[in-house]
Structure formats: structure tokens, C-alpha cells
Amino acid sequence: AGAAMAAVREVEIDPEGTFKYILVRLQRPGGEEQRDIVRGTKAAEFHNHIFEKVNPEMEKLGYECKCLGGGKIDHNSKDKKIRVFGLSTGYGKADHSVTVEILKKVYTDYEITWSDDKK
């Protein structure tokens, strides 16, 4: 089971631009094992659109998903900078500090910051 969870990418975000993101907690039903993942894309007009895509994918792998909140990501791949900010009206504000820690695992050479700014 651990291997399957490890196979789930921690971060899937657009390579460029400003877009909505959500922080999702994966859990095995009845199990202790859990993991938080970050998903964000410009294709999503609303935060729940991201969740509606992630949830079935994760259910197929045997996970229960819970959205821990959302916000926005500003991804500048040229300058290697990511800014995490804002909130989700439907899910509330994700803990951006958690999001940043997850992003740092993947974007190791980036400057990654967060704030509670709306824009």
C-alpha cells in the first residue's frame, strides 16, 4: 500500500501562470497512512473542479480524499519562483505553509513563498 501511495505524485501544477490550487489529504479507508498532495491548474474555473478531477482518480487507487482548503499559485518558471496566496470560497484557505513544504520537495531550486494576500 505504501508503494502505491508513493506512486501518487505529491505535486501536479501548471508549469506557468497564476491558477487555483487545492491541498488534498489522501487516506486509506480505515488505515493510518495519509499523505497531503497539491493540485492546481488554469483549466479549473473553480476549486471544486480540481477536486472533482482528483477524487475519482484517487478513489480508483483506493484512497479517500479530503480537501483541506485552497488558494492560488503564481508559478514563474523563468525566474524559478512560486508564490502561494489567496483562498478558496468553497473549501476555505489551505494551510499555505504546508503547501510550500510540499512544493519545496519537488521544486528544490525554486524560491517559494506564501502570504494571506488575496491577490
User: Mean pLDDT of all residues in the chain?
Assistant: 94
- Please give the model's pTM, rounded to 2 decimal places: 0.94
Is 20 annotated to bind ligand?
A: yes
Q: Cβ(96)–Cβ(52) under 8 Å? A: no
Q: What is the pLDDT of residues 47-57, one digit of tens each?
A: 999 999 999 99
Helix residue ranges per DSSP H, the chain: 2-7, 47-60, 96-106
Is 96 annotated as catalytic? no
Please tell me the predicted confidence (pLDDT) of residue 99: 98
Q: Which fold has domain 11-115?
A: Pyruvoyl-Dependent Histidine Decarboxylase; Chain B (3.50.20)
Over residues 3-60, the pLDDT tens digits come to 666 779 999 999 999 999 999 999 988 888 899 999 999 999 999 999 999 999 999 9
User: For position 33, what pLDDT does the model report?
Assistant: 84
Determine the residue type at 112: I
Q: Which of 47, 49, 75, 96 is catalytic?
A: 47
Give the per-residue pLDDT at 46: 96
